[in-house]
Homo-oligomer: A and B are copies of this chain.
Amino acid sequence: MPFEITDELIKQIEELILKQDNETLLGLLAEEHHADIAELLEDLNLEEATYIIKLLDSEITSDILMEMDEDDREKVLKNLSSKEIAKELDELDTDDAADMIAELPEERQEKVISKIEDEEHKADIKELLKYDENTAGGLMAKELVKVYENWNVLKCVREMRAQAEFVTRVHSIYVVDENEELKGRLSLKDLLVTSTKTHISEIYIPKVDSANVHDKAEDVARVMQKYDLEAIPVVDDKNHLLGRITIDDIVDVIKDEADKDYQMAAGLSQDVEADDTLWQHTRARLPWLFLGLLGGIGAASIMGGFEDLISKHAVLFFFTPLIAATAGNVGVQSSAIIVQGLANNDLKGSIGERLFKEFSLSLINGLALSLFLLLFTWIWKGNMLTSIAISISLFSVIVVAGIIGTFIPLFLNKRDIDPALATGPFITTSNDIFGILIYFWIAKMVLGI
């Protein structure tokens, strides 16, 4: 089903560009979907990609550009004149146009905007640029189909035909009063199954979910997902209809949120992709590795404090990686459950109940693992007391790690800090240190030295 980008195709296109055989190129790409062409361009070098963008009509290149990776798009836009960019913007829906402008260097933004021909489109884009990109205002488009409650269906259909020309997908028809205040909605289906003589005020559905322009993007995503909405109107504080958000933008928000949490859990501090530069990767990875290193130094210092144990019970030291790893694993498991529960908004009960559940779970897991370890070390080393010391330590470490792993994300969330921070290197590192401290402390007590 999907279009296949083969090495042959790329080679063929590169040759056609070299020969400047525009006719064949146009023929080759004419039938392809903009998303496929965008994928193709990412396999070409910058000059070749720019060549294709300049060659094709702006009706399709605007969509191609929007589909490209942000970094690649930025590079291509650098090679286009302000006028050329403005032409692309003219073809885009206002939300995409605003996103594209926002990525340009500031000194260029003004210049590009001034070159947009359609005055209404220009004003809409300028309005959208005012909103934070992580709010409903930053997601919404100005394109929508709206009718006034005092119209009749005949006038409505006539006006809608004109409006619909500019709206990719109609979804809902919003009904407003003469002050542009949102009153309700009509579905296209309703219109289709209603006689043309009916009056709008008689048929519209007065109940309509809406988002405030300042609502957080995540919250809008949650509401649209919960209520299975495919579009949601956006209003200001006085309920004036400003724009609407469609489900495709929300799919991106959901995907980005999930990717972000995943990356945090993996110890990557910013939005980094496989194809980013070495420098971007280093900036995303090194800080967390450094944090882990500091944790390791902390662990080394702690062990240094128990140096007197090493001559008598060297075997204790052999188990530090096991203790540290288990503490880290338990901590990550507990915190991931909480982070995901918070993200999906399905966490029930108080913090106390959560901690109690995690505590019970740690007892089960701790008992199972430490009994196994007890048997193993006893058989291996034949020293019951040392084996008991190690096992009791493991058990305690599991319980403490589980509680820390549950508590930290809940605590961060209460303080309005992204709880996903609590997963990954942060929790592993702190649990390593706690784990080793508890381990040697208990071992020393049990072994009586």
A residues neighboring B (CB under 8 Å): 1-2, 33, 35, 42-43, 69, 157, 160-161, 164-165, 167, 169-170, 188-189, 191-193, 209-212, 215, 219, 222-223, 225-228, 230, 247-248, 250-251, 254-255, 258-259, 261-263, 265-268, 272-275, 278, 281-282, 285-286, 288-290, 292-293, 295-297, 299-301, 303-304, 307, 310-311, 314-315, 317-326, 328-330, 332-333, 335-338, 340-341, 344, 346-348, 354, 357, 360-361, 364-365, 368-369, 372-373, 376, 398, 423-425, 428-429, 432, 436
Contact = CB atoms under 8 A, between A and B. Distances in A.
Given A2-B222, A43-B348, A275-B346, 16 more contacts: A1-B210, A69-B346, A161-B192, A188-B192, A225-B251, A250-B251, A263-B340, A273-B341, A278-B357, A286-B368, A296-B321, A296-B326, A300-B318, A303-B318, A310-B314, A325-B328
B423 A266 contact: yes
Given A161-B193, A296-B322, A289 B329 contact: yes
Main secondary structure of the interface of A (DSSP, over half): helix
Nearest to A255: B254
B336 A282 contact: no
Given A161-B193, A165-B193, A278-B361, A325 B432 contact: yes
B436 A321 contact: yes
A211 B2 CA distance: 10
A192 B230 contact: no
B324 A325 contact: yes
- Closest A-B pairs by Cβ, 3 of them: A296-B322, A266-B336, A258-B258
A436 to B, nearest CB: 6
A211 B333 CA distance: 37
9 contacts: A35-B226, A35-B227, A262-B340, A267-B333, A274-B354, A275-B347, A295-B325, A296-B319, A310-B310
